[in-house]
Structure 1
């Protein structure tokens, strides 16, 4: 079954139906088989129905409604969404299962929570108007915690994709702060929204969740939140302290970085499980304040990862996936003069 593109064009779908009809009327066996799979008459209505069924929709009208919903959500049109849901209330909750980049399916609220990632360009960007979309969906009956048994709640999705404004709307609507993702989730299986935001470097969402009362369960998450006072560093294992340093670097928690290095955490330590390194991660995610602080504490700008990439290389790679305005340009300016050329 084909999937709709990230931004489906209804005119293109009409052309597909007309092309199918012309081929069937011309005696093409494959086209005739497609049309006859839905009805005996070789006409436009059955050609349209065949195209709709091939995309997984029960009717041509259902396919058009889905395309309309995608366009409205992608255009961040809250007024248009309210009008659509007044005509088609089911679209507030009906899964968007034909979105090619979400094989588990996505509810409209999940889709809104994922808008910061532009699948068509493979770029992260800010979407200031997404929060009003969430308001409209919730008012139309979208469940704030998603359907029971889903892979993750909309709040976890917003945390993973870094939309703090959508996360705030969901929290105000009563979202469960301590809900966890399923074991089969593609994010952090069994993790809360706070853990997802921490692991994926979504600092603004971390701050929103902590302020709302999300539980900070250990030293590593405390480092992401910027407060490790509840965990005596002398009682933490070297691995815990290293993971905390990596997390603090990713979230630009400078005082935490200082405290962990002062406690003996190696500034150039590498996480044994994921291969993460404080300076490389800070560079890859465009964290200039962390990069400067780690360098001042002795981090090596020329330490390469398993693929031979320096922090500068990782910064440049990360910059290509972010819209303008991130810290990658500043990180590149810091690292470029002190990065040695690759050995020949």
Structure 2
């Protein structure tokens, strides 16, 4: 369950990368021509042309498809960082190549996220800082104090803002994904979460559960009590099963991944859940409301569609309802007469 259906981060990064790689393609070619004509720096110009070809590859093969490799993008930014560091070392400071360093925290955090961006930003910060210190101390190209103070404080400010902006963005994104995947009443996962994580559970048993006589509880005691019953049942599930495997998929219907491909183990878990719910009760107007569930158990076979698995489990759930409720059924209707159903 990764929230990929709601995740706009990769799409945004892809568009940023498309614009950036195209701009860097033009810039690299322009600077290569400039360095050939004015500086006769053929080796550096060759590196810039290689980077221009890399930029074209990123733009054409990755960004236009709204997809990219993080490792390739990491190497791409390191290549750009190397050009800036090497250029700052090779050319006079008056060319102001080191000014490009200030863009690195912003670009890195936009495209890589906090972990990789921190590494790239740190590499550029240390490398440019050492080169500036060397040139200002030993070559005396400028006065060391104003240049170093401005570089250190300006870079650190941009880096800090970029880092904490990314932390805030990532936190907000995670909160949004969690909200979109949660049922607001029971705080369990919802049907969207179930759908997105469906293929991660091949071979496992799914238990589909429905509260018995829930409509009569609503009609007799009101929807507030009905909601209280749903919350109580959901909490009961979460005490027995990892809450990431519990889903409310509609109304009074829940499903639970049991985390096993063994039928005997799945039946044991299912019966434990059923009995635990049956021990629950809700008090209303000095009356105790009994709660029970009926369930259908089905195994997620390879290549099985979500609709097929739910239909199989639902048929078995219906069979449990028709045979007296408060039951778990793991076979189809025609075989139920041969089952020994434990109450």
Q: TM-score, normalised by structure 2?
A: 0.26
Larger Rg: 2
**Structure whose residues are more often strand by fraction:** 2
Q: Which structure's relative contact order is higher, taking Cα pairs within 8 Å and 6+ residues apart?
A: 2
Q: TM-score, normalised by structure 1?
A: 0.26
